Structure 1
Amino acid sequence: MGSSSKQSNKPGGKQDGLDRRARIAELRAAEQRRDRRNKIVASVVAGVLVVGAIATGTWVVMDQNQKKKDKQAAANADIPGVKTFGELSRTHVKDKVTYPMTPPVGGDHNAIWADCMAHVYDQPLENERAVHSLEHGAVWVTYNSKATPDDIKTLSDKVKKTPYSMMSPYPDEQGTITLNAWSTQLTVDSASDPRVEEFFTKYVQGKQTQEPGASCTMGQM
């Protein structure tokens, strides 16, 4: 009786074994399919990232090239109202100099320049030292009592972030705000005048610079 019972269980045992192997095979096949899908997705993502990196790099280079072209174009463009004074002397002197323009933009000057590395002064500068700074390629912003607090703040913020520039009050000048570079000058009524930005772009270390690369630090007032 016990023997017949064991015989009746054998077919079911074989079938269970077959079913387990079939399920294992299905699971393995499903896992292989998932692995293939994951590899495909990873390849696609990697491709997208590579293409994106190439596109980003290309855009950055193109943007830099465009900015360089824009700057070169601005440096060559004429600015309405700018006055130039031709060739000016560059002799170092110890005495005070009488300049033909106010503020002065060139001529004989002191051997020591005014610090012009983004320096904002709250007192007038000595002409002879300021002129030496212009020789080094600085832009000197001056203003009189007609300049508003907003004008002064706007110009101060601009100078503070622009190496080879400086700013100081100049009570005797006729114009409200005067932008000065070597042998070059522009008068404006407001700091919001778009020519202010144009002047900085063109003349900070611009073509008018008599001593390119000369220091703007370690100067004096």
Structure 2
Amino acid sequence: MTEPSHDELAPLPEPTALPEPTALPEPTRPGRYVLAASVTLALALIGAALLVPVALRQAAPPDLSAVRTYDDLPVDHVDGRVAYDVTPPVGGPHAPAWLACGVYDVTVPDENAVHALEHGTVWITYTPGLPTAAVDHLADLLPDEGILSPYDGLPGPVVVTVWGRQLVLSGAGDDRLELFIEAYGDGHTAPEPFASCAGGVDVTGEPTTAA
């Protein structure tokens, strides 16, 4: 067999060009994402810590922890006006005649009302100008042994008082009013818990000594 001459040899193929190198993706920085996740988690925990107490307060039932207690109150009978330390008064020296139970649309003498407190009466006072619907609601809640009257200079819209105990309320719709009446409406804090405001004087303005 005859070998081909050099002139008859097939030309060598052209060298293939190498592909351009592909840029590798920039390596991720896991530390950056871990930090971001940590910050997000911390903010979420702070938010939860702030919101949970608020939710608990909103869900908590009303209680009587804000009731103020006054002990060792004198029970003397006096004539004329008395300068009481608490507004409205929770006890102390008072007129010989007690105020009759009921709903009053004008202010009543402290001295006669305090004598009613001595008998175990519940005294609900409200700021003058309270809406009529709110006053009617208070009247509906008033126990038989109770007095309802407006009062100037109260520390809150509504204040409920028995002898030696008092609670300032946010308004006529404050749920603590019923709790207070349930807890103290039996008159057990009064010096004469089995007496009554029935048969008292129906008086406004100056205190009276008349029975």
TM-score, normalization by structure 1? 0.61
Secondary structure at 2:135 match in 1: helix
2:160 counterpart of 1:179: yes
Secondary structure at 1:186 match in 2: strand
| Aligned match for 1:164, one of 136, 145, 157 | 145
2:120 counterpart of 1:137: yes
Work out the CA distance in 1 between the residues paired with 2:78 and 2:176. Answer: 33
Work out the CA distance in 1 between the residues paired with 2:144 and 2:180. Answer: 14
Q: Which deviations, in whole Å up to 9, do the C-alpha atoms of 1:173-213 show, x marking residues without a partner?
A: 12110001001110111222110001111111232021022
Gaps of 5+ in 1: 1-77
| Aligned match for 1:125, one of 86, 108, 111 | 108
Aligned to 1:219: 200
- Aligned-partner residue type, residue 109 of structure 2: E
- Aligned-partner residue type, residue 98 of structure 1: A
Q: CA deviation at 1:217?
A: 1.4
Radius of gyration: which is bigger? Answer: 2
Aligned to 1:81: 66
Secondary structure at 2:86 match in 1: coil
Question: Residue 155 of structure 1 contacts residue 191 of structure 1 at CA under 8 Å; is this kept in 2?
Answer: yes
Deviating 4+ runs (over 4 angstroms): none
Q: Which deviations, in whole Å up to 9, do the C-alpha atoms of 1:55-97 show, x marking residues without a partner?
A: xxxxxxxxxxxxxxxxxxxxxxx61211111110000001210
Secondary structure at 1:94 match in 2: coil
Work out the CA distance in 2 between the residues paired with 1:198 and 1:139. Answer: 13
| Aligned match for 1:111, one of 96, 113, 118 | 96
Q: CA deviation at 1:146?
A: 5.6
Work out the CA distance in 2 between the residues paired with 1:142 and 1:155. Answer: 9
For residues 188-203 of structure 1, what are the structure 2 equivalents within 5 Å? 188-203=169-184
Secondary structure at 2:123 match in 1: strand
Aligned to 1:152: 135
- Aligned-partner residue type, residue 85 of structure 1: Y
Work out the CA distance in 2 between the residues paired with 1:126 and 1:138. Answer: 15
Gaps of 5+ in 2: 1-62, 204-211
2:77 counterpart of 1:96: no
Work out the CA distance in 2 between the residues paired with 1:193 and 1:80. Answer: 14
Question: Residue 110 of structure 1 contacts residue 129 of structure 1 at CA under 8 Å; is this kept in 2?
Answer: yes
Work out the CA distance in 2 between the residues paired with 1:215 and 1:139. Answer: 11
Question: Residue 147 of structure 1 contacts residue 177 of structure 1 at CA under 8 Å; is this kept in 2?
Answer: no
Aligned-CA RMSD value: 1.6
- Aligned-partner residue type, residue 88 of structure 1: L
Structure number having the greater helix percentage? 1
Question: Could you tell me the percent identity over the aligned residues?
Answer: 39
Q: Which deviations, in whole Å up to 9, do the C-alpha atoms of 1:81-138 show, x marking residues without a partner?
A: 111111100000012100000000100000100012xx10011110000000001001
Work out the CA distance in 2 between the residues paired with 1:146 and 1:83. Answer: 25
Secondary structure at 1:180 match in 2: strand
Work out the CA distance in 2 between the residues paired with 1:215 and 1:195. Answer: 24
